[in-house]
Amino acid sequence: MNDTTFTILRIDGSARYADSVSRRLADETVERLRAAHPGARLIHRDLGAGLPAIDEAWVAANFTDPEARTTEHRAALALSDTLVEELRAADVVVMAVPMYNFGVPASVKAWVDLVARARVTFRYTPQGPEGLLRDRPVYILMATGGVRVGSELDFASGYLRHIWGFLGVRDVHVIAADGLNRDGEQALARAREQLDAALAARVAA
Ligand SMILES: Cc1cc2nc3c(=O)[nH]c(=O)nc-3n(C[C@H](O)[C@H](O)[C@H](O)COP(=O)(O)O)c2cc1C
C-alpha cells in the first residue's frame, strides 16, 4: 500500500559530500524507511553550506507577539518558520551529524537556534519547560574520527538528545559510526548493527 502521507525529514550536517560517512548512513536509512513506506514524502534539509545565525532582527521578531509583527518581523522569521513547518510535518527524522571539535557542526547549532522557539516548539509552564512537538522517531547518525560517542569528550550526542527532548521528542536513537580514523570498516559495521536494531524495534512496535 502506498504511504503517501508519511513524511521523512532528512537533515544533513556534514560539510562533505563525496566521502561523508554520515551522509552515506543517512542514504541507507532513508532507503530503508522508504522501503517500509512506499510513496513516502521526503523533505531534505541540507545544512552542508551552513545556515544563517540568528541575529538581532530575528530575536526582536521572535519576542514580538505574533499579532503585532510587522512585515520586517515576518521576513526575519521566514526561514525559521519554514524549518519549524518541516519539523511539524515529519513522521520520522533522519539526522546525519558529524562531530566537529567535540560538538555539533555550527550549521546544526544554527538549525537548533532557528527551530527552538518559545510558544512555537516549546513553552514555559509553572512546572518547567514543555516541548510542543509531537513525539516521533529520530535517528541521529553520528560520525566521529576518534572520539567515542557517549564518552566524556562527546558534547554532541547528549546535547542533541536533550534538545529533542526539550522540544517534546523522546523517541531518539543515536547510531554511532565512531572512531572512523581507527578502523572505518569496523565502525561502519557497528553503526549498521545499531541501525538494524533500531529499525527492527520500530517495525516490531
Ligand atoms: C572540522 C572538523 C572537526 C572535527 N572534529 C572532530 C572531533 O572533535 N572529534 C572527532 O572524533 N572527530 C572529529 N572530526 C572528524 C569527523 O567527525 C569525521 O571525519 C566524520 O566522519 C565526519 O563526518 P562525515 O564523514 O559525515 O563528513 C572532525 C572533522 C572535521 C572536518
Q: Which of 24, 25, 144, 149 to mutate to test the pocket of ligand 1 (most atoms within 8 A of CB)?
A: 144
**Alpha carbon of residue 71 to chain centroid:** 29
Given a cut of 80, whether residue 153 has pLDDT beyond it is yes
Using CA positions, which residue lies closest to atom 29 of ligand 1?
100
| Distance in Å, CA 100 to ligand 1 centroid | 5
Ligand 1 center–CA 98 separation, angstroms? 6
Answer whether 0.85 is exceeded by the pTM. Answer: yes
What would the grid cell of residue 171 be? 523517541
Helix (H) or strand (E) holding 25, with range, is helix 21-36
- At 51-104, the pLDDT tens digits run 999 999 999 999 999 999 999 999 999 999 999 999 999 999 999 999 999 999
CB of 142 closer than 8 Å to CB of 20: no
pLDDT tens, position by position, 154-181 = 999 999 999 999 999 999 999 999 999 9
Residue 18's CB is within 10 A of a number of other CB atoms, namely: 6
* C-alpha 130 to ligand 1 mean position (Å): 33
Q: Outline where 37-176 has alpha helix (H).
A: 56-62, 71-76, 78-89, 106-115, 157-166
Residue 40 pLDDT grade (very low, low, confident, very high; cuts 50, 70, 90): very high
